[in-house]
Every structure is written in structure tokens, then in C-alpha cells.
Amino acid sequence: MKKLINIIIVVALGSFASMANAQVATNLDDLLETVRQGKVNESAEYIKREQEFRNAKADQAKILAAANAAQLAEERRSTRLEAAFKVNEGKLAVLQTELLNELGAMKEVFGVLQLVSGDTRATFEASLISTQFPDRAEFINALIEKTSSSTILPSIEEIEHLWFEVQREMTEQGRVVTFNRGVKLPDGSEVNIPVTRIGVFNIIGGGKYLKWQEGLVSELVRQPPDRDLDKAATLQAATSGVSGFSLDPSRGSILSLLIQAPSISERLDQGGTIGYLTLFIGFIGILLFLERAFYLLTVGGKVRAQIKSDIVNEDNPLGRVLAVHDVNQNADVETLELKIDEAIMKEMPKLERFLTMIKLIAAIAPLMGLLGTVTGMIMTFQSMTLFGTGDPKLMAGGISAALMTTVIGIVVALPMLFLHSIASGWSKAIVHTIEEQSAGIIAVHAEQHRGA
């Protein structure tokens, strides 16, 4: 019984939440009355909602009927439009046939005009004359767009304008013209300066070579040698007469290859550490040769002066050998000959000093160059292992840098061999003179002893 009462209380509390005029029950009878009234109220509300739903259902039926009627009307309209489209399509085919018949040979003429316009646009895009007349590209593009249509025909004025542009292209190819033009500098800035166009071959500005690419005039990052730049500046400053100029007949191709060629310093950089070490050794060899040249030429002059003089001067090798003879005039021939040979042997190291080192430098320079080449090839093959052989320029650049050390080695070795031969010849000439004079002294001494 107690459980039933609890259930009734829960149901009653639920009913109280939905009632606007709910009251608090004080006993079970009041609670029962409250539940009865709530049930009556809910039944009335349910009836009201059901009536509203029925009314809405009727409205929805009206809307559905209107939509079905609209769909049917649109289907009928679509049928009429399809029929009209088929009729118009037939008329259009007839009109196109009539247009083609009317055009006749004119269509072939306009086809040729379209072809010529396309070729002319390609010529104008690559021509330096477009730097002076940039607006002609717009006309050509508009004409090509018009000639590509089968319904719009170019006018006589447009055809004459095309002829005019072609003729102007031919005429301007033989002119040297100066005009103002915006030029993009290597640092990214743009300035408006006077530029000079030499036909369709080159364009210069500020004494430097420029290039025309994709509608933009820009200064070459690397310029040709100074002799070419001087000619460019002279031409741009000239107002009349004839002026020399380094012209590129290939319209920029040769110039681009020329400026891409590495300079001497860049070539030396390709040799790397071994290349610079080889050059340093060659520089040491030149210093040694200069020292030998100064010494041997000075000594040679003193020896020649000693030959002509009757007074013995010990500031030269021949004088010191003659001094030995003066000291040993009373000695026998064999003793004198040994004394003179000893004096000559003392002079030999001074005369032949550093000659061996110069010869050694001439010998090791090519070997160092070969070492650099082998090292460079090893690095090139390592790069090929890492990045593959898809880029021939990478391989060619690595091989070129590797072979540069061999070139440096040969460049150092050849003059070193030549300089060693010169210094060795000077030294041998002095030694030969000393030996010749010594032999004469010994011969005279022997005759004096035999006469005595």
C-alpha cells in the first residue's frame, strides 16, 4: 500500500509541472482531485493540438497541389523550349553554311592573315625593336584574337596596320636609335635612362650592355671586357660620324656565352688549394731565378772585366782563381793545377746555387697538378653517386675544375724549365770561362818551367 502511494505521488508531481494553476495537495483526496483535473486539462490540450494538425495537413495538401501544378507548367515550357532549340539549331546550321559560302576564298585569305599575325607576334616578342615600340604587341594580340574567330573579320585598316608594323620592323633593323627606357639594374632597382639600340642586334645603356627578355630591359649581370665597354660608351656618346662597336650578329647568343666564360680569377678558384699551392711554388721559383739572374749577370760582367784587366781583383771568381796562381807561382805544374782545380771547385757552389731547386719546381709542378686532378675527379664521382648523372652540367663543371689543376701545373712547369735553362746556361758560361782561363794559366806556367 505504501509503495502504491509513492507511485501516485510521483505521478501527481509530474502533473503539477505541466499545470499553470497547480496547487499544493494537503492530503490524499486533494491529490486525487488534482490528478483528475490535470487529466481533463491534458485531454482538452490534446484535442486542440489534433485540430491544429488537421488544419495544417489541409494547408500542406494545398501547397502540394500548387507545386504539382507548377511542375506541370514547367514541363510544358521545357517541351516548348526544346522544340524551339531544335528549330534554331537547324536555322543556325543553315546560316553557317550560307556564311561559309559567302566567305569563299576570303576564308583562306584570313587564314593566311592569322598565320602571318602569329609569326609576326613571335618576331616582335624576340625583337629589340619592341623596346622602342612596346605598344605594337597589343595590336598584334588583338588582331590574332579577331582572326581566330570565324564570325568576326578584320578590317582593311587593321590589315594595313599589320603591313605597316612588318615594314617598320624591316626598316628599324638598319638604324641606330637612342631613346629613354626603364632599365632594371642587377640590385633590383629600376631607372629611366637613355638607351641606344643597334638595329636588332644589341642594346646598350650607360656604357653597358643590356638584354631584352619577356618585355623587360635589364642590365647584364656580367659585362664583356673593358675594351668592348669602352666602344659601347663611345658609340652612345657619339652624335655623328662612324664609331667602332663590338656587335653580336647572333642577337645576344654569342654575348651570353662570352659573359658566361669564367675569368682568370674564377679559373684559378676552380683549382682549389692545390692550384694555389702550385702557383705559390711557381712564384718561389721565379724569385729564385731573379736572384740567380742578378747574381750571374753581375758575376759575368766582373769576369769579363777581369779578362780585360792585368790587375787581379778578387771580387769575382776568375780573380780569386788568378790569385791562387799568383800565390803559387813557384810551385810545379801538377801542384798548381791541383790548387787551381780546388779554387774552381770552391766557386762552383756559388755559381750553381738554387739551380737544382728551380729544376725541382719545374718537375713537381705537373705532379701537383695531376694530384689536384685526381682529387677533383674523386669528388666529382662522389657527387655523381649522391645526386646521379641527370645533370650533365654538374659533371662537366666538376671535371673542368679538376682538370684546371693540371693546367696550372703545366703553366708553372713550362716557364720554370725555360728559366732553369737560361740560369744554367749563364752559370756554365762563367764556369767555362774560368776553366778556359785556368787552362791557359797552367799552360803558360808549364812553358815557363820547361824553359827554366
The model's pLDDT over 385-441, given as tens digits with 9 standing for 90+, comes to 776 666 666 666 667 777 888 999 999 999 999 999 999 999 999 999 988 888 888
Average pLDDT value over all residues in the chain: 81
Residue 258's CB: how many other CB atoms inside 10 A? 16
What integer pLDDT is reported at residue 65 of this predicted model?
A: 85
pLDDT-flagged residues of the chain (< 50) = 1-25
What integer pLDDT is reported at residue 107 of this predicted model?
A: 67
Give residue 18's Cα distance to chain centre. Answer: 85
Number of structural domains, the chain?
Answer: 3
Q: Are 277 and 409 contained in the same domain?
A: yes
Q: Which domain holds residue 329?
A: 264-451
Q: Are 138 and 270 contained in the same domain?
A: no
What integer pLDDT is reported at residue 35 of this predicted model?
A: 64
Q: Which residues contact 128 (CB under 8 A, 6 or more apart)?
A: 197, 199, 200, 201, 202, 203, 212, 251
- The verdict on residue 174 lying in a domain is yes
Residue 77 to residues 66, 74, 85, 89, 212, Cα–Cα distance (Å): 17, 5, 12, 18, 61
Residue 101 to residues 94, 104, 116, Cα–Cα distance (Å): 11, 5, 24
Q: Are 365 and 441 contained in the same domain?
A: yes
Instruction: Assign 178 to helix, strand or coil.
Output: strand
Q: Are 245 and 287 contained in the same domain?
A: no
What integer pLDDT is reported at residue 384 of this predicted model?
A: 73
Q: Are 367 and 278 contained in the same domain?
A: yes
Q: Are 268 and 404 contained in the same domain?
A: yes
Q: What are phi and psi of 177, to 5 degrees?
A: -125, 140
Q: Are 269 and 249 contained in the same domain?
A: no
Q: Is the pTM of this model over 0.75?
A: no
Question: What gap in Å lies between CA 427 and CA 344, rounded to an integer?
Answer: 13
Enumerate the β-bridge partners of residue 179.
195
The dihedral sign for the CA sequence 312, 314, 316, 320: positive
Q: Which of residues 227, 253, 279 is at a domain's end?
A: 253
- The verdict on residue 217 lying in a domain is yes
Pairing of the two strands 190-198 and 176-184 = antiparallel
Q: With both helix axes pointing from N to C terminus, report the angle between 264-308 and 355-387 in degrees, rounded to the nearest 10.
A: 170
Q: Which of residues 36, 56, 74 is at a domain's end?
A: 74
Q: Are 193 and 309 contained in the same domain?
A: no
Q: Are 220 and 368 contained in the same domain?
A: no
Say how many Å lie between the first and final Cα of the chain, rounded.
179
- The verdict on residue 96 lying in a domain is no
Q: Are 28 and 153 contained in the same domain?
A: no
* Residue of 237, 228, 175 lying closest to 206 (CA atoms): 237
